Amino acid sequence: MWWKLKKNKGFDILVTHAPAFELNDLPDLPHRGFSCFKMLMDKYAPRYFLHGHIHANYGNAFKREDQYGSTVVINAYEYCIIDYT
């Protein structure tokens, strides 16, 4: 996909199941995020990063929205409506 990414100058929305490492993730192994997602955001600066996997009933660790550089990070657990204009 590197050629498509270069040709299109990156991408607007990154959608994954898990969060990024140390960005709305949890310390236990099953809920730890992936550092490669941060590398993608650093390189391409997408407008949105949507993830799930961290549920609201996990306690005070739940954050619906966050910011990483110029990327809006949204935990889309259950459902989430985004006005993308």
Collapsed DSSP state (helix, strand, coil) of residue 51: strand
Classify residue 61: in a domain, yes or no: no
Classify residue 33: in a domain, yes or no: yes
Classify residue 62: in a domain, yes or no: no
| Burial (Cβ within 10 Å: 0-12, 13-18, ≥19) of residue 48 | middle
**Residue-wise pLDDT tens digits, 1-59:** 889 988 999 999 999 999 999 998 888 898 899 999 999 999 999 999 999 888 777 66
Classify residue 42: in a domain, yes or no: yes
Contact 41, 31 (CB under 8 A): no
C-alpha distances in angstroms, 19 versus 4, 37, 39, 70? 24, 8, 13, 17
Domain enclosing residue 37, as ranges: 1-48
Classify residue 83: in a domain, yes or no: no
Classify residue 32: in a domain, yes or no: yes
Classify residue 41: in a domain, yes or no: yes
- What pTM was computed for the model? 0.87
Number of domains in the chain: 1
